């Protein structure tokens, strides 16, 4: 079941096209809850979503059914059956847009920090030399 719940999370994240879920905040789960309600006409609590994303805790079967319906499956059983062989189907209509978060690679951050240190030293040397 854990493999299927992780697969479900990945499919939802792919549909949303948001930043990595590890960066989601409470307001993102509230927004996801609203998107799920609009698409499925079923209410899923934002705190339940956050708990599910952080620990894969499932509070009810209807919770999984609703999430599966959000990514255009009939229910959780249908999701598990259709994804048993790794088939992933994302309907164009289901795709939601959210401004993607840019993640700066670590090597860039390190390079910027070193450049900043070198620039500071150069300015300091120039100021001392001009005095």
Q: What is the pLDDT of residues 60-93, one digit of tens each?
A: 889 999 999 999 999 999 988 888 765 456 555 5
Q: What is the pLDDT of residues 2-22, one digit of tens each?
A: 778 888 898 899 889 888 888
Stated pTM of the model: 0.62
Residue owning tokens 């609590």: 45
Query: With contact defined as beta carbons under 8 Å apart, do 101 and 82 qualify?
Result: no
Query: With contact defined as beta carbons under 8 Å apart, do 98 and 20 qualify?
Result: no
Query: With contact defined as beta carbons under 8 Å apart, do 126 and 47 qualify?
Result: no
Q: Mean of the per-residue pLDDT values for the chain?
A: 85
Q: Which residues contact 67 (CB under 8 A, 6 or more apart)?
A: 8, 12, 36, 44, 52, 76
Q: Which helix (H) or strand (E) is 21 found in, with range?
A: none
Q: What percent of the chain has pLDDT over 90?
A: 48
Q: Which residues contact 62 (CB under 8 A, 6 or more apart)?
A: 42
Residue from 116, 5, 121 nearest 64 by CA = 5
């Amino acid at each position: 079941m854990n493999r299927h719940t992780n697969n479900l999370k990945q499919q939802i994240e792919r549909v949303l096209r948001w930043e990595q879920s590890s960066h989601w905040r409470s307001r993102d789960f509230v927004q996801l809850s609203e998107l799920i309600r609009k698409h499925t006409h079923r209410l899923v609590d934002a705190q339940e979503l956050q708990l599910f994303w952080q620990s894969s805790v499932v509070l009810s079967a209807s919770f999984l059914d609703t999430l599966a319906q959000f990514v255009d499956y009939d229910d959780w059983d249908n999701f598990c059956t259709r994804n048993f062989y790794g088939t992933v189907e994302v309907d164009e209509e289901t795709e939601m847009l959210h401004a993607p978060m840019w993640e700066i690679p670590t090597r860039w951050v390190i390079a910027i920090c070193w450049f900043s240190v070198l620039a500071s030293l150069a300015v300091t040397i120039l100021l001392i030399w001009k005095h």
